[in-house]
Copies of this chain bind each other. A is one copy, B any other.
Amino acid sequence: MLLSKSCVYGLRASLYLASKKEGEFIPIKRMSDKLEISFHFLTKILQQLTAQGILESFKGPNGGVRLNRPGTDVQLMDIVLAIDGEQLLTECALGLPGCGIKNPCPLHDKWAETRDAIKAMLEHTTLTELVEKGRAENLRLTTDGGFDILFED
């Protein structure tokens, strides 16, 4: 798998948050219900995102989490880096230790191209962009149901 499960959940949750009114705190419980992710697990993941400054959290009634920056300023790569780290950008195809351009393996050239494509995609896609697309085309963030089900309260 390209991204860990934690990372995927983090992305889904971030998209959910980006679809909400800016500044509003959303309880994790609500998100885990809507997104069909284990509440406790999602909590752990969002704690990471909070620790990394991507989310902001607030305790107590009316508490929850929200994006720390507008969704237009959050790239998918930000989430991926916060959860999976640089692995995706550094590790690669033949996974030899201490890799890079200096001492490449035979796959390096081809792999580097592919990896750059992945990187570019993650860096050039913002949360808001996907939310707008999802809303316009009623795409899904869960197993069943379209984007719209996320907005029923």
Contact A131 B106 (CB under 8 A): yes
* A136 to chain B: closest residue by CB: B106
| Chain B positions within 8 Å of A137 at CB level | 106
CB of A149 closer than 8 Å to a CB of B: no
Question: Chain A: how many interface residues by the 8 Å CB criterion?
Answer: 44
CB of A130 closer than 8 Å to a CB of B: yes
Q: B133–A98 contact, CB under 8 A?
A: no
- With A and B bound together, what is the CA distance between A125 and B91 in angstroms? 20
Task: Count copies of this chain in the complex.
Answer: 2
Separation of A147 and B140 alpha carbons in the complex (Å): 48
The answer to the question of A51 belonging to the interface, with a C-beta cut-off of 8 Å to chain B, is no
Question: What are 27 A-B residue pairs whose CB atoms fall within 8 Å in the complex?
Answer: A1-B87, A1-B91, A2-B92, A5-B95, A8-B93, A8-B95, A11-B93, A11-B94, A12-B94, A15-B106, A76-B107, A94-B141, A96-B140, A96-B142, A97-B143, A103-B140, A104-B140, A105-B134, A106-B130, A106-B141, A109-B133, A110-B121, A110-B125, A113-B121, A114-B117, A117-B117, A118-B118
- For A133, give the chain B residue with the smallest CB separation: B106
Query: In the assembled complex, which residues on chain B have CB atoms less than 8 Å from the CB atom of A15?
Result: 106
* Chain B residue with Cβ nearest A115: B2
Among A103, A106, A143, the one with the most B-chain Cβ atoms within 10 Å of its Cβ is: A106
Shortest CB-to-CB span from A103 to chain B, Å, is: 6
Collect the chain B residues with CB atoms within 8 Å of residue A8's CB.
93-95
